[in-house]
Structure 1
Amino acid sequence: MSALVRILSLAAPPPSLDDNTGDLDRLQRAVTGHPEWGGGGLRVPYRCLAAVAADFRGCGFKGTAVLHEIPPPAGLPVDEGAAPDFELVDFLPAPPACLPALALDLGTTHLEAVLLDLLSGAELARGNRANSQIAYGADILSRIQAAGQGERLSGLVELHRAVIADVNVLATELAAQIGMKSEQIRALSLAGNTVMGHFFLQLNPYHLCREPYIPVVNAPGPAAAAELGLALHPAAPVHLLPGVGSYFGGDLLAGIVACDLDQAEEPAMLIDVGTNAEVVVGCRDWLVACAGAAGPALEGGVAKMGMRAGAGVIERVKIEPTTGELSYQVIGEPPAAERPGKEGEFPANGPERGSEPPRPRGICGSGMIDLMAELFMAGIIDIRGKFRPERMGGRQLTGPDGLAFVVAFPEEAAGGEAVTVSQVDLDALMRSKAAMYAILGTLMEKVGLPFTALACIYVAGAFGRHINPRQAVVLGMIPDLPLDTYRPVGNSSLAGACRYLLEAGVRRRIAAVARKITYIELNVNHEFMIRFSGSRFIPHTDRGLFPSVVVPE
């Protein structure tokens, strides 16, 4: 184990008239002379001097030293063979049975965290909560504007306090699950986009959304939990994973190492869809990345009935092309293979199905993709994504946003409110799917490779967990490749943050990736806009790019 926080049990000779070495000097000598010591330099930070010295003497000069590794700076060259430096921050009378640390995905809409034991690497608890900053704006740009409000950036102070409070709540809840206090958590690693990182550290994000899009810092050094007002052990090191640019944060770097993309022998791609679509392509020799606004509709954040994946949310839709019969699958009910019905089909909808599965209350991004692909293959929408009213049958509805399609009727749905998708919703999804394919195409054009050169495509996040690749290919959202090319990897940001806590090699790799990656700014890329325009048809203006998709009459 090469965790960020480590312990060494030791015994030092007590002071005497023949050995008047200072208490802390004596402790440092015992640590660096220990058989298991593998570090370079060692220091005791000023904030810990008095307490560590008192504890060392109080324990009779024997017990357990608590050490924090000091990772290499992400923005500077590093001697890969050099041993890491350490801080000595605490001294305990005996080794603890557990050394808890928190890994956190600092998302724009949700925070997700894992509590780990640094001694064994075991997962102790897991949880998530909504990001309270939503009260200041649902999107990043709204929050940046809110941060600039008030005297002395009081809006920024409020946003900072909101995210710190969320982290404290999560830490308290997860610690309670294992019968501990949050103050016993010894470290925190967190990965998020660049704006969320600025809010967490209370840094002004003003220039992030203005040319030339410059962050205050890409690779901040670690802080102590007490400095940030976190309800962890006061000396717990807090590491915000480094970013590369205004739209390329530590969440994407975490995803790269979680998928081992930086060690791949053949070119591969990572797609992480959240508020934005962030994409990296490369291998151990080179990495190129870009990001663009393709996320909200894909994660169910644009449609009126759209929502994140959760219980009672429609995640799969099927329409029988000849009869127009529609069936769906709701999250929280058994998979189709375990329920009555024909193989590969979902059973008929309605409250009479089985043993009271959750009633639908909305539709998530994967459900929207399924629905739009099925509407297209059934001829209910045309290549522009527009409804064909004459083919909508009894599911046609005129609502506040104009023409809409009924996915679940009131008698089937939770609260008696029909789940519908309007033309406005489909238009938003068409823009998102076009942006996605344009991002991927622009990136591959920049590296001079065809899509067929990719050994695999990792798809991260809830989007990756729930998406049906075939349906996304039908829409022209992702390239027409063999379906086994696409590999869902879950929350790669959180997985990378976990590995950061546990593996010294990963901490060095993240620093190395931050130095070598090339970032392409799409906001000023003319090629991207051309590709975006060509992608606003199903599957594409150039049907030759999607040979497996048969366009219905």
Structure 2
Amino acid sequence: MLNALVHTIPVAALPPSLGDNTGDLDRLKKALAPHLNGAIPVVPYHRLAKVAGRFRAAGFQGSAIINVLPGPPVLVDFLPQPVVILAGMALDLGTTHLEATLLDLGTGAILARADLENGQIRYGADILTRIHHAAKDEGLAELHRAIIDSVNQLAAELAGAAGLAVAEIRALSVSGNTSMVHFFLKINPYHLCREPYIPMVNAPDPCLAGELNLAIHPAAPVWLLPSVGSYFGGDLISGVLASGLDQQTETCMLIDVGTNAEVIVGNREWLIACAGAAGPALEGGVARMGMRAGPGAIEHVRIDPDSGEIRYETIGKGKPKGLCGSGLIDLVAELYLTRQIDIRGKFRPQADGDRLIPGSDGYQFVVVPGKDSADGQPVVLGQVDLDALMRSKAAMYAILTTLTNQVGVAFVDLHRIYVAGAFGRHISPRQAIVLGMLPDLPLATYEPVGNSSLAGAQRILLESAARQRCLELVKKITYIELNVNQEFMLRFSGSRFIPHTEHALFPSVPFFDGE
């Protein structure tokens, strides 16, 4: 029996006769049972007529389409010919962007990839604004339609790239934060941002695509990864699946930085997690020249300590448009190492030279002059941007220290730190250590795991063991609510210097006294 969320079973049943008056659907179910370990499949009411009619029209021979969901197998379709490609869509339901892959459920091969800006952005760039919008008349309906339209657009793009009709997509797995899942399912998110921060549902049962007005096959199962709390969603459960954190014998950590910083530490025996607002400045959501990690984004920066010359790399190797999170971290770390900013993250005019110019909100540091940029406008870093990064880096380190302190684990006890998302794919751990964002550990400790939210969703489509693991993980994880955690606030205050007020925590980072 296949492990995929949907699979086909060939059927060659004897036709009915005067001596065998078994009903068509009963006949089909009986023929399928030996292929399903003796289980009798169920047929949803709205598929009864279609399945029975197609079974008879095919002469009682062909291929049955089975959804493998909790409970008995679900029979949803019957086709006269074998399916050449049984396609499933894995979706990373991000706050700012959606990313998806189309998989061949028979082989696991990736047929197509695509990404798209989340259409909800017109109602608010951040989750909190959207939650407030949902409280307005028709607000929740607007947010729901926007995300469904975006998913349908993405599905059509994937199907077209694979040479399929969008209705040939037979399954969808969804990995997203708790708020996005509420919007996707048209569930009221009102209580997510209000103490005691309780979702309407953490583990929604699978539904069918037709119930959500999705453009894929109406009988396609939609499997949503469960969440643990309002600020700990299925995207982090996906990260655990993708990294294998829950199967490690030694204690490890997973960090996923997006709209929030979500962190989980543990091993196969125990897992503890928390989340906090440390992400926006890192993903381009705060800095004026900040942008998502895409073509034209500066992802790496070096400053020659003698000449002050700035060397940079852009994603796609084209002219720069702005700074993504890794480029911002690199730049500020280099500014500190060349003593152009002080331990508070403030510009030092006496050291910055001609690159420091006045702006409407204070000093701005010119990273790339307009003549060398993609749009003729200089790429700059303002003091306001620096202050935002200092808050984000302080929150990041405070989250990590608060979580490890809860279980009495020192950073040196961590066997591996998995770093997920674009943050993990592009970041230089060394530069993040210089800033005091990540603990001062050997660089080999850090392992990038890419878009683990999408990777986990892909495993849900293909592996029954992954589907079972994600349900068990929800029961296993202990979640700490940082919104009411005093220890976090104290640690946050102590982390708002480069690298930290306690320099002994970062022995490998130069300390410039008296600044």
Q: TM-score band (shorter)?
A: over 0.9
Percent identity between the aligned chains?
Answer: 63
CA-to-aligned-CA distance 1:486-533 (integer Å, 9 cap, x gap): 011110000000000000000000011011111110000010001000
CA-to-aligned-CA distance 1:9-57 (integer Å, 9 cap, x gap): 02112212222111111111110023xx336452111111111111111
Q: State the alpha-carbon separation in 2 of the partners of residues 52 and 456 from structure 1.
A: 50
Aligned residue for 2:14? 13
Aligned residue for 2:123? 136
Q: State the alpha-carbon separation in 2 of the partners of residues 33 and 407 from structure 1.
A: 67
| Aligned partner of 1:272 among 242, 249, 256 | 256
- Tell me by how many angstroms 1:240 deviates: 1.4
Runs (5+) with no aligned partner, structure 1: 72-83, 334-357
Structure 2 matches for 1:34-73, cutoff 5 A? 34=35, 37-38=36-37, 40-71=39-70
Q: State the alpha-carbon separation in 2 of the partners of residues 50 and 416 from structure 1.
A: 62
Aligned residue for 1:442? 402
| Aligned partner of 1:505 among 460, 465, 469 | 465
What number of residue pairs does the alignment pair up? 512
CA-to-aligned-CA distance 1:169-206 (integer Å, 9 cap, x gap): 01001101121110110010011000000000000100
Which AA in structure 2 matches 1:30? A
Where 2:399 maps in the other structure, the secondary structure is helix
Which AA in structure 1 matches 2:228? V
Q: State the alpha-carbon separation in 2 of the partners of residues 85 and 255 from structure 1.
A: 28
Aligned residue for 1:433? 393
- Tell me by how many angstroms 1:392 deviates: 0.6
Where 1:111 maps in the other structure, the secondary structure is strand
Aligned residue for 2:30? 29
Which AA in structure 2 matches 1:6? H
Aligned residue for 1:494? 454
Q: State the alpha-carbon separation in 2 of the partners of residues 51 and 106 from structure 1.
A: 32
Aligned residue for 1:347? none
Q: Does residue 1:514 correspond to 2:514, yes or no?
A: no
| Aligned partner of 2:142 among 150, 158, 161 | 158
- Tell me by how many angstroms 1:85 deviates: 2.5
Q: Is the CA contact (8 Å cut-off) linking 1:473 and 1:539 kept in structure 2?
A: yes
CA-to-aligned-CA distance 1:79-115 (integer Å, 9 cap, x gap): xxxxx62100111112111001100000000000000
Q: Does residue 1:127 correspond to 2:114, yes or no?
A: yes
Q: Which moved more, 1:493-502 or 1:172-181?
A: 172-181
| Aligned partner of 2:356 among 392, 396, 400 | 396
Q: Is the CA contact (8 Å cut-off) linking 2:345 and 2:390 kept in structure 1?
A: yes
Runs (5+) with no aligned partner, structure 2: none
- Tell me by how many angstroms 1:552 deviates: 3.5
Q: State the alpha-carbon separation in 2 of the partners of residues 315 and 122 from structure 1.
A: 30
Q: Is the CA contact (8 Å cut-off) linking 1:378 and 1:552 kept in structure 2?
A: no
Q: State the alpha-carbon separation in 1 of the partners of residues 431 and 371 from structure 2.
A: 28
Where 2:167 maps in the other structure, the secondary structure is helix
Structure 2 matches for 1:259-408, cutoff 5 A? 259-333=243-317, 358-408=318-368
Aligned residue for 2:497? 537
Aligned residue for 2:431? 471
Q: State the alpha-carbon separation in 1 of the partners of residues 77 and 435 from structure 2.
A: 57
Q: Is the CA contact (8 Å cut-off) linking 2:30 and 2:40 kept in structure 1?
A: no
Q: Which moved more, 1:12-21 or 1:516-525?
A: 12-21
The normalised TM-score by structure 2 is 0.98
Q: State the alpha-carbon separation in 1 of the partners of residues 208 and 432 from structure 2.
A: 44
Q: Per the alignment, do residues 40 and 444 of structure 1 end up closer, same or farther by CA in structure 2, a change over 3 Å counting?
A: farther
- Tell me by how many angstroms 1:415 deviates: 2.0
Where 1:321 maps in the other structure, the secondary structure is coil
Structure 2 matches for 1:117-266, cutoff 5 A? 117-150=104-137, 154-266=138-250
Where 2:170 maps in the other structure, the secondary structure is coil
Q: State the alpha-carbon separation in 1 of the partners of residues 173 and 161 from structure 2.
A: 20
Which AA in structure 2 matches 1:215? P
Which AA in structure 2 matches 1:19? D
- Tell me by how many angstroms 1:148 deviates: 0.7
Which AA in structure 2 matches 1:420? V
| Aligned partner of 1:95 among 61, 77, 82 | 82
| Aligned partner of 2:488 among 511, 522, 528 | 528
Which AA in structure 2 matches 1:235? A
